[in-house]
A and B are shown apart, each in its own frame.
Chain A
Amino acid sequence: MDEIRALDSEVLAISIDAPEQSRKLAVKKRLSFSLLSDPEAQVIELFGLRHPGANPMGEADIARPATFILDREGNIVWKIIPDNWRIRIRPQTLIDQLGLIE
């Protein structure tokens, strides 16, 4: 995370979890970035990332995993939409991509 901040970059993580639940996760995993709560999956919908039917417990569909990198003007310059929820993007890949942006 320090490496990412050194590149003048921030991280936002979005899920349908309630802020209370995200706080527990942030404390437990000592996360220093923002975990944003999108309980009705509205922003998830804006990004076209709803995973219909994957949440049998609640009303809102959960997000399928995806990661975007934005430049300083808010343009999406890089994205990854994995086909497997088990395999996660490596932080180093993101750091490399951030390094490519002015």
Chain B
Amino acid sequence: MLPSMSLKNKKSAVSVTPLSIRRRNHSVWLGPLIVFLGAVSYFIYFAQFPVLRDFPWINFPVVFLGCWVNLIAIKRAFGRSDLYRGKLMAVLSMAFSILLTSLFAGYVGYISYQLPAPTETTRGLSIAPEFVLSDQNGQEVGLSDFRGKKLIITFYRGHW
């Protein structure tokens, strides 16, 4: 009996650690979370600072940090599957991080450039055409009200 028991013990010693006691791979959720916060915080916070708005000096590094953490998750899940669980989750979270990073980079580098070219009308303007419009208090404001003053007229996209 004894020899066969010791053989059984040996066998269980080489088998992988049971799923239930393998370590949680925290970088699996930490990675996409960092990417998400890195992208969203641009719009809700950092875009109010001109330097950080023109180029996302903070948001790009944060987003890439998230991807790097996610890469660690992949390495752990596949390279050390004896220690860490969650291969599928690692792949899904990596896909999420890459998608969100692409969307954010695409918005900054491409989508926000999708404006019509300046028209001939705009380029040819040398005298501002007269207009009267209602201001935020319902007051009529005309261009001629400002004759004798210097004026900045800015057109913005608004919130519709």
A35 to B159, CA, bound (A): 12
Query: Shortest beta-carbon distance, A80 to chain B, in Å?
Result: 9
Which A residues lie within 8 Å of B126 (CB)? 75-76
Chain A 72-89: CB-based contact to B (< 8 A → 1; otherwise 0): 111110010111111111
| Chain A residues bordering chain B, tally (CB within 8 A) | 66
Which B residues lie within 8 Å of A8 (CB)? 149-150
Which A residues lie within 8 Å of B115 (CB)? 51, 64-65, 82-85
Say if the beta carbon of B18 comes within 8 Å of chain A: no
Given A13, A43, A55, A98, which contacts B156 in the complex, CB threshold below 8 Å? Answer: A13
Q: Is the CB of B122 within 8 A of A48?
A: yes
Query: Shortest beta-carbon distance, A69 to chain B, in Å?
Result: 6
Q: How many A-B pairs with Cβ below 8 Å? A: 188
Q: Is the CB of B158 within 8 A of A15?
A: yes
A36 to B136, CA, bound (A): 6
Q: Is the interface of A mostly helix, strand, loop or mixed?
A: mixed
A98 to B154, CA, bound (A): 14
Range for the number of chain B residues in contact with chain A = 35 or more
Q: Is the CB of B157 within 8 A of A15?
A: yes
Tell me whether A47 and B122 are in contact in the complex, defined as CB-CB below 8 angstroms, given that A70-B151, A87-B54 are known contacts: yes
Tell me whether A101 and B134 are in contact in the complex, defined as CB-CB below 8 angstroms, given that A14-B156, A81-B118 are known contacts: no
Q: Is the CB of A14 within 8 A of B133?
A: yes
Say if the beta carbon of B112 comes within 8 Å of chain A: yes
Q: Is the CB of B116 within 8 A of A51?
A: yes
Other than A70-B150, A88-B50, give 14 A-B pairs with Cβ distance below 8 A. Answer: A13-B153, A19-B135, A19-B138, A34-B136, A38-B133, A48-B119, A58-B160, A69-B150, A69-B151, A74-B128, A79-B125, A85-B115, A87-B54, A98-B152
